Structures are given as C-alpha cells and as structure tokens.
Structure 1
Amino acid sequence: MSDFIIPFQITSNGYLVIIVFILIIALFAFIGYYFSHKNRILRKISQIGSKRIQLVKDQEYIKIIGKVSTIDNPLVSPIGKRKCVYYQVRVQEKRGGKNKSWHTIIKEDKGIDFIVESSGEKTIVQASTSAKTKMVYLVKDIKHSSGTWNDPSKHLETYLQSHGKDSTGLFGFNKSIRYREGVIEIGEKITLLGTGSWKESDHNLDRYSSKSLYISGDSENKLIITDDPKAQESKKK
C-alpha cells in the first residue's frame, strides 16, 4: 500500500509545483500589464471628467478632449516623416544567446507647445516642458524592422547613426532591430490632463478676452497626454 501512495504523493507535489509556477507567471504578467505606462495613464484619465475650457478655474487640474492645431511650425517625425506636434520613437535590438530578448537602444520623445480645440473653445498645451512634469503615451502606428535578410532604409540608418547606433554587427551582418513611432498629428483628437492657468496672451484664442488658458504640469500633478481612443470613452462632466 505504501509503495502505491508514495508515487502518488510525488505526482501530486509535482502538479502543485507546476500550478504554483503558472500562478507566479500569471501574477507577474498581470502586474506588468496593470502598472504599464499606458494603463497608468488610462486609469488616471478615467478618474476625472472632461470639462469645457471656459469653465476651467485657475489652477484647476482638469481633463480636456479635443483636436490639435499648431501655434508655430510643426515638428517632422524622424521615422514616418509626418508633420506633428509631438512624437515618440522606440527602437529595440534583439540580443542574447539562446534566450534572446528585445532591448531598447533609442527612446526619444519630443514635443512643442500646441493648441487644443474643444467645443469651439481653445487652450494652449505646454508640451515642450521637462519630462519630469509630463506623462505621454502615443499609439505606435508606424512600425518597421530590419534584420538578416532585410536591410534598413537609408533614413532609418541615418536615424540610428544620429544616435550613435549601427544596423550591423562586427562582421557586417544586420542586427535584428525594430522601430516604432507614434505622433500627435495636426487635426488629431487627443485627451489630456493638466493644470489650467489663465494668462495674458497674444494668441487671441478668445475674441472676448485677452487671456488664454494654458495647460501644464509639474512633478506632482503631471501633464498627461494620449491619443489612445480608449481615453475618450469617459463622459463629459
């Protein structure tokens, strides 16, 4: 009888180890998903109702959903060559031996101040400020890759070199590299959170007032910007 029970116990313990291992992997996957940059931004946005620009109080932290226009000349994104007011580029290289994984080799964010129009009212978004005062998530809708049998285009090679990187290794073989870019284009609808400040302005956004609403952030109440459509699903306050 004991000869039968012992193998059964070992088998049961084996199943238990497998189940615990699977649960641990699932827990880490959930934590990574829940606390991802994107989902932290979407959760923060969902907690605050949107508001009409003219109803914003001075120094109020608010949400605005609207379409983008420029104040001055737009940026041109480095990968997709698109006119925009903000771009994010992520370039990753696959490294390692048997268990290769992707490593970020270029992480570039660049933005300029721009205008958002909502319900016929306009505000100025101060997106050119320090990275410490803002959180930005943009949908990466431009995707390229290069590798063993796939040479990068000339402008991708130039972009890598401008950041001190190269598409080939020691023996001239192409590295496995993927390129991702997201932008805020002119006329695109976005969602933002920020602190509103009414200031004297030369931009004439409101013909009835010399003041314009400026949206910004600081280290505590950050300027949050996203073009993810999910952020626009919440109801207006």
Structure 2
Amino acid sequence: MNYFFYLMVPLILFFVLLYLFAEKRKLEKRFKITRTDFKDLEDTDEVHVYGRTKLFKPTFSPISKHKCCYYQCTVFQTSRFGKNDVIKNNSSDWEVLKNEEYIGDFLLEVNLEPVLILTKNSKSLLKVNVDTHSEKLFDTATFEQYWPNVKSFLEKHGFRVSNVYDKNEKRVKEILVANDEQLAVVGKGTWMRTAEFPDIAPYIDNEKVYVISGTEKSPVVFTNINSLLWG
C-alpha cells in the first residue's frame, strides 16, 4: 500500500505540472498575433494591445500594499518530497495551502487613449512581485519590512505565527497588476457606448469606448512578462 502511494504521488505531480506547462504555453501563444494600434481598433474576434494601466477602482495588495487592480497571494508549505533546505525554488518542493485572489476591471492607455479591459473571464501571466523565500529577499532588511504584512496575511487565513523566526515554515508569493504598469492584453474587442460603464465616465470624454473582454473558452489574457511584452 505504502509503496503504491509513493509511486503514484510523483506520477500525479508530474502530470499536473505537465498540464500547467501546456496551459501556460497555450496562453503565451496568444501574444503572437500582431499588436494593434489604437487607431486601427475595430470590432473583431481578437486583438493584441499594449499600454499602461489606469485604475479606476483599485485595491491594495496584501504584502507589498501596492495600489492594484489584480493580485494573487499564495501560501505554500514544504511538500512531502521537498528538499531539506531553507531556499527551495523548485515548484515541486512546495504545495499550496491557501490562495487569495482579487481581480477588477481596469483601463489600459493605448497610444494615450483609454481602452476598457473587462476581467470577468481572464487569465494572467505575471512576474512574481514578492517571494518570501527568494534568495534576493529571504535574508534582507526588505523581508523585515514585509514581515508584518506577511504575518497578518498568514493569521488572517488561520495560520498561527509567533515572530520573524517563523519565516522558514511558510512561503508566501504575491503577484499583482499595479497602476501605471506596462501591460499587454489579448482578448475580443468591440466598440461600446461609454454610458454603459458609469464607473469610467470621469476618465473618458468620448461617447464610445473600446472594450476588450473574454469568455470561459477564450479568456482575456494579460501579462507584464518582458519576453511577452517585447517579444
């Protein structure tokens, strides 16, 4: 029984990682379509735009406290098959304990003109903003600055934490989309009446606004990863 368990778990983990890799590659391929300038935006199946975010209903990320329209904050612990050291960067060495996500619609300034991004059906490919077990952060004063927020986040989700010496026990990663951040977006675009979106009225002078949205089968995808922004 135990032998079968130890045989199956790595195999299951392998297929999960293989699926996640394939999903990531599929999303990355969507950024291969030609990028569209604002003046060329039309009602179409899919567009690829680039610009800077302009947030109209921001929140704050749990760890870095940046103003943002999206964040994902995840708590990990060392997995059964993890290596016995402090810095473990191999994803298979960690298992997810808790994941908190917030996502809101935002404006993207494309060629100095506003485009509305609806995020109801969306996926993200984003840089890690904070990783409490990264080699650059783990043993630095910056970690100590983040620690009160890390501690509060862990306690919010029911993890008992005493002081900074508990930092080895859990790993916390935060990704986000901040205000005035360079972003590329792929999704279905169409022109719509600005009056249909009262939250953005103070930011848009025109009667119509270009809106990018997605579906469950074909979600909006946004990224701040350099290779996709400039590739």
Query: TM-score of the superposition, structure 2-length normalised?
Result: 0.71
Among 68, 81, 84, which residue is 1:84 paired with?
68
Question: In the TM superposition, what are the counterparts of 1:105-184 in structure 2 within 5 Å?
Answer: 105-127=97-119, 129=120, 133-145=121-133, 153-167=147-161, 176-184=169-177
Q: Distance in 1 between matches of 2:100 and 2:191?
A: 31
Shift of 1:182: 1.5
Q: Distance in 1 between matches of 2:132 and 2:168?
A: 13
Shift of 1:166: 3.4
Matched positions, count: 195
Contact in 1 for aligned 2:82/2:94 (Cα 8 Å): no
Give the counterpart letter for 2:154 in structure 1.
L
Among 37, 49, 52, which residue is 2:34 paired with?
49
Two-structure CA RMSD over aligned residues (Å): 3.3
Question: Per-residue displacement from partner, 1:198-228 (whole Å, max 9, x unpaired)?
Answer: 1111427664x40111111101221101111
Q: Distance in 2 between matches of 1:84 and 1:98?
A: 33
Q: Distance in 2 between matches of 1:141 and 1:97?
A: 26
Judge which range, 213-222 or 194-203, deviates more: 194-203
Judge which range, 152-161 or 115-124, deviates more: 152-161
Contact in 2 for aligned 1:89/1:108 (Cα 8 Å): yes
1:153 is paired with a residue of what secondary structure?
helix
Contact in 1 for aligned 2:118/2:212 (Cα 8 Å): yes
Unaligned runs of 5+ in 2: 1-10, 85-92, 196-200
Q: Distance in 2 between matches of 1:89 and 1:205?
A: 29
**Larger CA Rg, structure 1 vs 2:** 1
Alignment partner of 1:187 is 2:171? no
Question: Per-residue displacement from partner, 1:11-41 (whole Å, max 9, x unpaired)?
Answer: xxxxxxxxxxxxxx9xx69x84982554332
Among 28, 38, 50, which residue is 1:65 paired with?
50
1:35 is paired with a residue of what secondary structure?
helix
Contact in 1 for aligned 2:223/2:229 (Cα 8 Å): no
Shift of 1:65: 0.7
Contact in 2 for aligned 1:87/1:110 (Cα 8 Å): yes
Q: Distance in 2 between matches of 1:97 and 1:124?
A: 44
| The structure with more helix, counted as a fraction of residues | 2
Unaligned runs of 5+ in 1: 1-24
Question: Per-residue displacement from partner, 1:55-97 (whole Å, max 9, x unpaired)?
Answer: 222243111111011123x210001111111112222101437
Distance 1:174 1:114, change over 3 A: closer
Question: Per-residue displacement from partner, 1:150-190 (whole Å, max 9, x unpaired)?
Answer: 9993322221222233347xxxx776211111111111101
Alignment partner of 1:104 is 2:96? yes
Aligned residues with identical type, % of pairs? 20
